[in-house]
Amino acid sequence: MTRHLVVVAAGLSNPSTTSLLGERLAEAVTAQVGGRGESVEVEYVELRDLAVNLAHAMTTGGLPDPVLDDVKRKLSAADGLIAVTPVFKASYAGLFKSFFDVLDQDALVDMPVLIAATAGTPRHSLVLDHAVRPLFTYMHATVLPTGVFAATEDFGSDEAGLERRINRAAGELATAMVSTQTGVAGFMQEGLGAAPAPTPTGRVRRTGVDMTPAVTDFTSLLRGHDGS
């Protein structure tokens, strides 16, 4: 069975250590899911490429945006999420927060989420538990116990320590992703003409893009009436 993983990275530069950390986490998850006899399809979302779309969505009351709507659908249909942000002013990046602000409140219900962050100094490591974890808890996602924080020095002198943290967190996400028989993607059936199906715990995940239940057209509503 193929599991679907989405990596959301809020790095602003290119190349970006934030994106690099997301890629390394995804590779580790792919390897560990593979060790369980299944495969992983990974979708990378670079938020810097969606900056204009996000600004437009936030200032127009959420008017439809084909690019952003496609990302929303893929995210809500995923079996797992890796969310990585750089640390700015002792918290997550504004671009990172903007993306999750435009999602439907139920977009991540029961979603296994591996949280991660990068910064120039280890002094910001508590940002994962003080800022990032509460965000996803509020959205009713399942935030995994191990978060991965990487300071600049971790990409050099403490590479082994970073690798251990990556593998531990990847193992937790791999276990969560393969814990259901059908995969979460099998529970996402939202769209016109189809009601959203419940996740394994019975709750419903919604993209906020497609109308559910389907809107009944006026022809059907007026069928059988002659207008008199």
Residue 78 banded pLDDT, cuts 50, 70, 90: very high
Q: Return the closest-CA partner of residue 79 out of 26, 17, 129.
A: 26
CATH code of 131's domain: 3.40.50.360
Residue numbers of the domain that contains 131? 2-221
Backbone angles phi, psi at 212, to 5 degrees: -140, 135
How many domains does one find in the chain?
Answer: 1
What is the pLDDT at residue 187?
45
CA dist 67 → 53, 74, 172, 208 (Å): 8, 11, 31, 14
Pick the more confident residue, 46 or 158.
46
pTM of the model: 0.85
pLDDT tens, position by position, 85-98: 999 999 999 999 99
Does 228 fall in a domain? no
| pLDDT cut 70: percent of the chain above it | 83
Does 152 fall in a domain? yes
